[in-house]
């Protein structure tokens, strides 16, 4: 899978966005083995929402991981 090449650069982009297609079992198993995330939806907006939520979840995990080292920007009123 070409998407697995992105694991070396940035794991958040090691994804496959499957719009209005059926994902075969062997393709899903291969993606799981390689660490590639597959998002599937019949409506393009739902696919976009799933991917956006996934990226936000990864961002929050990174913040939790580095919260004792880094100071993140804040908004002041």
- Taking only the tens place, the pLDDT of each residue in 31-67 is 999 889 999 999 999 999 999 999 999 989 988 888 7
Domain count for the chain: 1
Largest CA distance in the chain: 52
Provide the residue range defining the domain that includes 21: 2-66
Query: Distance between CA 18 and CA 14 in Å, rounded?
Result: 13
- SS3 at position 19: strand
In this structure, what CATH number is given to the domain that contains residue 18?
A: 3.40.50.10050
Please give the average per-residue pLDDT across 4-24, as a whole number.
84
Query: Distance between CA 53 and CA 46 in Å, rounded?
Result: 10
Query: Distance between CA 73 and CA 64 in Å, rounded?
Result: 14
Residue 20 pLDDT > 90, yes or no?
A: yes
pTM above 0.85, yes or no: no
Measuring CA to CA, how many Å separate 1 from each of 38, 39, 62, 71, 76?
12, 15, 26, 37, 45
Residue 74 forms part of a structural domain = no
Residue 43 forms part of a structural domain = yes
Question: How does the average pLDDT of the chain come out, rounded?
Answer: 86
Residue 71 forms part of a structural domain = no
């Amino acid at each position: 899978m070409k998407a697995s090449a992105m694991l070396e650069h940035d794991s958040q982009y090691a994804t496959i966005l499957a719009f209005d297609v059926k994902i075969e079992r062997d393709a899903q198993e291969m993606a799981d083995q390689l660490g590639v995330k597959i998002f599937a939806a019949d409506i393009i907006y739902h696919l976009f929402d799933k991917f956006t939520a996934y990226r936000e979840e990864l961002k929050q995990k990174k913040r939790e991981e580095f919260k004792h080292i880094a100071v993140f920007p804040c908004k002041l009123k």
